[in-house]
Amino acid sequence: MKLSEKLITKVTGVNKRGSIIFLHGFPFDQNMWNAQVEFLKDDFLCVTYDIRGLGKSSPGDGQFTMEMFADDCLTIIAELELEKPVLCGLSMGGYLGFRVLERAQEIFTAAILCDTRAESDSDAAKLKRANGVRQINAEGVEKFVEGFVSNCFSEKFKTEHAEEYNVYLERSKKSNSLGVKGCLLAMQGRTGTTLFLPQIKIPTLLLCGTEDNLTPPAEMKEVADKIPNSKYLVVPEAGHMTPIENPEFVNKAIKDFLSGLR
Ligand code: MLT
């Protein structure tokens, strides 16, 4: 079985103006990009998949590294024979995205990074991951996911779009506990990519929600300042999950960015 099948890869749309590979955040799955795929599919071949251990992909033995995630992304690009795709990642998908760029930026046309960071985990963040694993073992994955996902969205979104919020929450609560713990440890053990940022040559768009408490706008601005050919936009009325919370703004920003490329 091909890796793209194992990781439930979906290919949507037509390649009139290129292809885009989307990398989702934690503890979500490829559905977090639905609004962007719907918006871009008439012009772009949109590729989404469930990162190892999340969504409907199998957790296997639950032993993941960010390097395995990067290997997976590069393998899927090769299996689908994507020619110079645009890479688009959010948060954990951004950690993975930066690492993939560090390994092979020449195979991409451009990059879009949302609500993410290039620094590796601080000691405090590492201890928080360890507490996450402890909580999942003691109380179960649902309890952990409830707390985590709540922090990902702005209060406004949770109140005004309660139904949509619950769809994402309930989907994440169904995550496999081994897979979620594996992802926590993969993020905990990842390398930092800050020193690589000045070497990014391809056009890069960075987006961050005004109310993102997990990867705050000021930190993303510092990342953008280090990337030579970059554009940085703050997404109004959004927390950490900008593509879900303000799809109109994010879709337009992506469309404008992609239009400027060719
Ligand atoms: C994500 O949205 O992928 C997570 O917030 C990443 C993290 O926990 O560092």
Q: Return the pLDDT at 183.
A: 98
Q: How many residues does the chain have?
A: 262
What pLDDT is attached to residue 262? 64
The per-residue pLDDT for range 8-31, each reduced to its tens digit, is: 999 999 999 999 999 999 999 999
Over range 192-208, report the average pLDDT.
98
- pLDDT bin (cut points 50, 70, 90) of residue 115 is very high
Domain edges within the chain: 3-259
Q: Which atom of ligand 1 is nearest to the CA of 187?
A: 9
Q: Which fold has domain 3-259?
A: Rossmann fold (3.40.50)
pLDDT in tens, 41-70: 999 999 999 999 999 999 999 999 999 999
207 CA to middle of ligand 1, Å? 15
To test ligand 1's pocket by mutation, which of 51, 88, 92 has the most ligand atoms within 8 angstroms of CB?
Answer: 92
Residues with CB under 6 A from ligand 1: 25-26, 91-92, 152, 187, 214, 240
Model-level pTM?
0.98
Does the structure show a pLDDT above 70 at 125? yes
One-letter amino acid of 248: E
CA of 118 to the centre of ligand 1 (A): 12
Which among 24, 25, 53, 28 has a CA at the least distance from the CA of 37? 24
Compute the average pLDDT of residues 224-249.
98
Share of the chain above pLDDT 90, in %: 99
